[in-house]
Structure 1
Amino acid sequence: MALFTVAILLVILGAMWVTLSHLKLRAGYRKLPPGPWGLPIIGSLYMLGSLPHRNLSRLAKKYGPIMFMRLGCVPTIVVSSPEAAKLVMKTHDVVFASRPKLQAYEYLSYGAKGIAFTEYGPYWRHVRKLCALHLFSSAKINSFASVRKAEVGLLVKSVKEMASAGEVVDISAKVAGVVEDMAYRMVFGHNKDRIFDLKTLIREATRLAGTFNLADYVPFLGPLDLQGLTQLLRTNNEAIDEVLEKIIDKHIQDVSKDEANHMNFIDVVLSLMNKSNNFEDDPLYAIDRKNAKAIILDILVGGIDSSITSIEWVISELLRHPRVMRRLQEELKNVVGMCRMVEEFDLENLGYLNMVVKETLRLHPIGPFLVPRESIEDIVINGHYIPKKSRILINTWTIGRDPNVWSNNVEEFFPERFVENNIDLQGHDFELTPFGSGRRGCPGIQLGLITVQLVVSRLVHCFNWKLPNDTPPSELNMKEKFGLTMPRVDHLLATPTYRLPA
């Protein structure tokens, strides 16, 4: 009874505080961006629906490319045009370079000790610099080329056997398997562990991180754990931590025996941890075991799901558009030939493949809002006041489907639109920023693109594909679901035929 009374009091007090705060913002002399009014306590949360990127896109047509909403207690700015995105990610990048404290992020980053989900500040700048130099440099990424080649070779072999048997391939499952195996070999040096099933735990962490959490928007309800997410996140984090501790112990022992042969990401991170003893006078730069685990978890969560989702959508669009599939296969035939398989050194010569990937990411961005940002101070943009600690959602899904940017055939999958422009994926062009831009741009973009292009080119070069049961390409289900990334609702299934000489 006492607990129920406390809960009711919390709700009442919270509602009063939220309402007063919202009225203060609206009534203030500073002009907020236009946007819809919200309800007490929940604000405009009810407007998000199951596909928030689509619903916020519709609202942006009414309120404009810089829109204010109150989501629960959180002042939120929704950005829906390249010009507005440039203001956030370039012109005023420092102001919008931080991250909100979301419950899942706190568990995934061991309390803001990683890269992707950590608040902006001296520690984040230091760790990002170390990761850029030691983990995501071109030399380091290229050093794992043989790992990627071996894993993609196993994928082709497996699909070839299924093709010979006339079996339907679950492309989603196959792609997930090869991307996970690549990632775990690069990070740990192996992709299978008979004792610890880290892959299942990471998948669960990614799922939980993408689940709507009421406590992130109405913090005073957090202690009640109404959705049970706090307990699930805590249990998952404890299980992952136990596994990572044992893996770290084993790697420390192995390195002490034969240091020269250890080049995996985890060993690099551990070496940085050892070198951080040089920064004893400044704890801001110290890297301990928690920091090491947070960085490793960031790499796995950030790299695996994004690559899987991108590859799924590329193959989906190719199956749905046989003309594009044929043209890509023709390019592969001309550049690579039919007597060998695609290698990484071929990728730079596959211009049409690059256009196919860009067109896919335009229509199906990895994360429709990127990773949310947070303003670190009050600022006025285009005459609109944006309060400190506002949450910033950049709707890349809307930007990618804006007819004012991409012409009237914006809903059509048409890679040739990139023939006469120099738009790239590096964050320089704000019409297309699936990996973000500025200080918060993804540091692993090079590795991600190599993974996507290599897997796609091998599957398209080695096999012809058709949908099961003679399903017409136009009837392929292209619905998405919302989460940390934006994957297909259904697994992608297709029947392969091997097309290279035996």
Structure 2
Amino acid sequence: MQKMMMILLLLSIICVTILFLKKQSTGKKISTPRSPPTFPVIGNLHQLGRYPHRSLCSLSYRYGPRMLLHFGRVPVLVVSSADAAQDVLKTHDRVFASRPRSKIFRKLHYDGRDVGLAPYGEYWRQMKSVCVLHLLSNKMVRSFRDVRKEEIRIVMENIRKSNSSRINLSKLLASLTNDVICRVAFGKKYGGDTDFMELIERFEKLLGSFSIGTYVPWLAWLDWISGLDAEVEKTKNDFDEFLERVVQDHVDGGGDKNDFVHVLLAIQREKSIGFEIDRISIKAIIMNIFVGGTDTSFTVMEWAMTELLRHPKCLNILQEEVRGICKGKSNVSEEEIQDMKYLKAVIKETMRLHPSLPLLVMINVWAIGREAATWGPDAELFRPEKHLDTSVDFRGQDFHLIPFGAGRRICPAISFATVLIELVLANLVHQFD
């Protein structure tokens, strides 16, 4: 039986190779970006490596900032420079406004019913508008000031009270971000236990997993053999159970009456956006807020602290700035942050070198942030001073620095994330050595 399977597999590969070569020789010649050589069946998948953003960056040095790769049967345009990103995200923004949807993403993101992966169109526009108006606008972000202040105070007290000489700062920052998002979006804290944090980790790990069936459908059985399909299904069901609990809790009268989930339920009842949204849409949207907001903000904080510990001189400069402005005060306020230029430079430099999502679809943000033509010969080094005398910002207008993306699908939570990151870092370096 095993020998028969091997023979069938070999025959399949031979057939596909013949068809591939025939198509290559008879296909119509069109102008396309340069491509690395491909293998039959898998295309360029073997060139991705353990860290795809690094592998793709290396390939771009040889094949240019616009590369056409083939992941199995799927042609993929990979962009690795600011100019090329501007072409995709501004000049031809509408053409690229919809997101590719892998098998894993379809499962975990409710088949594109959320904001992040919904196809470009009226549904996406309406759902994004609801999120911005009721949660992510500058006005709403300012209204959450007391929540941020209280949750940061709790974390600082926990650090101070600890009798250990070592603090798991990663765990504390992840928990802080989670608690802030839960309170402002859902009206109360959810999931403070270890099992829930483990579920979040499983979810995020799967989003970065590779599914061979997405790119080579006839090899999809390998995802089943490897256990990937079962893991995706279990995580999807576990997370859906949590989201169902959140929604039902609000249906039963829980949470703040003005929180985001109550807003979504009101829109469902009143049909106030011109079309109906159902329970699945509500769960998909709050999943976006919960997972997207927790992971991205926490990642920037963690990398910022890592780089500051690696570069004591930068840490000292930042501490002098923060402590000078907040002299005599125990906590840093949001008003005081506005005058902290070096703090903002540290955060920009962190986002340049360590974007939360190194690959925005196939825009290699990691590579763009390390372009020597833009950032100089020391582009690989952590140098916050780069940002002190420049107007380059990360809000989507400067394509040299796009950790939140740009164009129509730019992340709408920039202000929400930035103010929390700034406040947490300022208080950490102000209150502790």
TM value normalised by structure 2:
0.92
One-letter amino acid of the structure 2 residue matched with residue 319 of structure 1: L
| Paired position in structure 1 for 2:288 | 298
One-letter amino acid of the structure 2 residue matched with residue 422 of structure 1: S
Equivalent residues in 2 for 1:211-360, closer than 5 Å: 211-223=209-221, 225-254=224-253, 261-276=256-271, 279=274, 285-360=275-350
396, 402, 410: which is aligned to 1:433?
Answer: 402
Q: Aligned partners of 1:193 and 1:321: how far apart in 2?
A: 35
Contact kept in structure 2, 1:109 and 1:118, CA below 8 Å? no
| Paired position in structure 2 for 1:205 | 203
What is the SS of the residue equivalent to 2:107? helix
TM superposition shift of 1:105: 1.5
Q: Aligned partners of 1:7 and 1:268: how far apart in 2?
A: 59
What is the SS of the residue equivalent to 1:461? helix
Q: Aligned partners of 1:330 and 1:316: how far apart in 2?
A: 19
The CA deviation string for residues 402-436 of structure 1, in whole angstroms up to 9 with x for no partner, is 11111112122111111221001101000000000
Residue 150 of structure 2 is aligned to residue 150 of structure 1: yes
| Paired position in structure 2 for 1:382 | none
> Relative to 1, partners in 2 of residues 1:220 and 1:66: Cα closer, same or farther, differing over 3 Å?
same
Contact kept in structure 1, 2:341 and 2:388, CA below 8 Å? no
> Relative to 1, partners in 2 of residues 1:26 and 1:272: Cα closer, same or farther, differing over 3 Å?
farther
> Relative to 1, partners in 2 of residues 1:418 and 1:213: Cα closer, same or farther, differing over 3 Å?
same
> Relative to 1, partners in 2 of residues 1:262 and 1:241: Cα closer, same or farther, differing over 3 Å?
same
> Relative to 1, partners in 2 of residues 1:278 and 1:179: Cα closer, same or farther, differing over 3 Å?
closer
TM superposition shift of 1:20: 2.9
> Relative to 1, partners in 2 of residues 1:139 and 1:222: Cα closer, same or farther, differing over 3 Å?
same
Q: Aligned partners of 1:18 and 1:175: how far apart in 2?
A: 54
TM superposition shift of 1:158: 1.0
Q: Aligned partners of 2:35 and 2:24: how far apart in 1?
A: 16
One-letter amino acid of the structure 2 residue matched with residue 153 of structure 1: R
Identity of aligned residues (%): 36
Runs of 4+ in 1 over 6 A off after TM superposition: none
Contact kept in structure 2, 1:41 and 1:73, CA below 8 Å? yes
TM superposition shift of 1:216: 2.2
| Paired position in structure 2 for 1:369 | 359
What is the SS of the residue equivalent to 2:136? coil
Residue 141 of structure 2 is aligned to residue 141 of structure 1: yes
Contact kept in structure 2, 1:424 and 1:432, CA below 8 Å? yes
Q: Aligned partners of 2:158 and 2:150: how far apart in 1?
A: 12
| Paired position in structure 1 for 2:87 | 87
What is the SS of the residue equivalent to 2:367? helix
Q: Aligned partners of 1:14 and 1:290: how far apart in 2?
A: 44
Equivalent residues in 2 for 1:121-200, closer than 5 Å: 121-162=121-162, 165=163, 167-192=165-190, 198-200=196-198
What is the SS of the residue equivalent to 1:251? helix
Equivalent residues in 2 for 1:36-47, closer than 5 Å: 36-47=36-47
The CA deviation string for residues 100-143 of structure 1, in whole angstroms up to 9 with x for no partner, is 12122212221110011222222112211221222211222222
Q: Aligned partners of 1:323 and 1:46: how far apart in 2?
A: 41
Contact kept in structure 1, 2:93 and 2:407, CA below 8 Å? yes
TM value normalised by structure 1:
0.80
Residue 385 of structure 2 is aligned to residue 416 of structure 1: yes
| Paired position in structure 1 for 2:415 | 446
What is the SS of the residue equivalent to 2:56? helix
One-letter amino acid of the structure 1 residue matched with residue 269 of structure 2: N
The CA deviation string for residues 334-372 of structure 1, in whole angstroms up to 9 with x for no partner, is 2222323112222222111111000111111111112x1
One-letter amino acid of the structure 2 residue matched with residue 344 of structure 1: E
One-letter amino acid of the structure 1 residue matched with residue 125 of structure 2: R
Q: Aligned partners of 1:17 and 1:96: how far apart in 2?
A: 31
| Paired position in structure 2 for 1:16 | 16
What is the SS of the residue equivalent to 1:135? helix
> Relative to 1, partners in 2 of residues 1:359 and 1:158: Cα closer, same or farther, differing over 3 Å?
same
What is the SS of the residue equivalent to 1:303? helix
Q: Which runs of 5+ in 1 are unaligned?
A: 280-284, 373-392, 465-502
TM superposition shift of 1:440: 0.9
401, 404, 411: which is aligned to 2:373?
Answer: 404
| Paired position in structure 2 for 1:112 | 112
Q: Aligned partners of 1:367 and 1:177: how far apart in 2?
A: 20
> Relative to 1, partners in 2 of residues 1:451 and 1:14: Cα closer, same or farther, differing over 3 Å?
farther
Q: Aligned partners of 1:397 and 1:72: how far apart in 2?
A: 24
Q: Which runs of 5+ in 2 are unaligned?
A: none
> Relative to 1, partners in 2 of residues 1:213 and 1:238: Cα closer, same or farther, differing over 3 Å?
same
Q: Aligned partners of 1:32 and 1:245: how far apart in 2?
A: 46
> Relative to 1, partners in 2 of residues 1:194 and 1:308: Cα closer, same or farther, differing over 3 Å?
closer
What is the SS of the residue equivalent to 2:285? helix
Q: Aligned partners of 1:448 and 1:27: how far apart in 2?
A: 48
The CA deviation string for residues 217-276 of structure 1, in whole angstroms up to 9 with x for no partner, is 212322552332222111111122222223212211216xxx9x5222222222222232
Q: Aligned partners of 2:189 and 2:136: how far apart in 1?
A: 20
Q: Aligned partners of 1:404 and 1:22: how far apart in 2?
A: 41
One-letter amino acid of the structure 1 residue matched with residue 418 of structure 2: L
What is the SS of the residue equivalent to 2:381? coil
> Relative to 1, partners in 2 of residues 1:6 and 1:286: Cα closer, same or farther, differing over 3 Å?
farther
Contact kept in structure 1, 2:20 and 2:40, CA below 8 Å? no
Contact kept in structure 2, 1:109 and 1:295, CA below 8 Å? no
Contact kept in structure 1, 2:191 and 2:197, CA below 8 Å? no
TM superposition shift of 1:445: 1.0
| Paired position in structure 1 for 2:426 | 457
Contact kept in structure 2, 1:134 and 1:140, CA below 8 Å? yes
Q: Aligned partners of 1:364 and 1:54: how far apart in 2?
A: 12
